[in-house]
Amino acid sequence: MKAKTLEQRIQRLEDIHEIANLMGRYVFLHEVERDYEFPDTIYAQKTSGVSFEVATSGVWVGLDHIRQQFSNIPGVENKPKVSRKGAMFVHPLTTPVIEVAGDGKTAKGVWMAPGYEGGAGMGDEQPMAGFVYTKYGCDFVKEDGKWKVWHYHVYRVFMTPWNIPYTDEWEKNVRDKSGKKFGTGKTPDFPTTADNPYSLETSRELVPAPPEPYETFADTFSYGPPEK
């Protein structure tokens, strides 16, 4: 890669800081279930192929399809500013690896997220508290001078109620790998691309792989959907 001027190096640091803030805002708003805002604020508006994939959701491509997923949150039609009573969804982002392309047009980042969830959404009729560990792999694009999420992908590590060891593999019994039961229940644009939660029968993989320095997006891989 070409040597960078001082101005370019400062811009690179500002880009990384902006991307970190973007993802931080994502997590804070997700905690209070304001995900319905994301298609119009955090996701790219002018770049084709914007995508969303969480665990076994399948891959949803395009802002309209992503909106369909967020529209299934109870009470979303009233655009609440707080979460449902008793609901808790906290996914702190740690261990960031962020690389901005040499041409400054795209960026890539990965995070680990040791989180917890409670009340609704844990796959049980009764209120329940549990641990949800995931990893994030995202591609970003700069639009009109601002960084936006291009490909959003969350990978499972494990999910379990607080009183059940993750080695019991409780999680694998509460998800549907087809993606058809996620969100609106409609069929995703692509099936789940990567799903390897903890299991006594498998080894851990470097997925998502941390990004390496790159010049243009054509020189690297994507955390987004496969090419048709």
Give me the domains of the chain, ranges plus CATH numbers.
6-218 (3.10.450.50)
* pLDDT score for 124: 52
Confidence band (pLDDT; 50, 70, 90) for 57?
confident
pLDDT of residue 61: 95
The whole-number pLDDT of residue 48 equals 95
Quote the CA–CA distance of 142 and 148 in Å, as a whole number.
Answer: 6
- Residue 171 pLDDT: 61
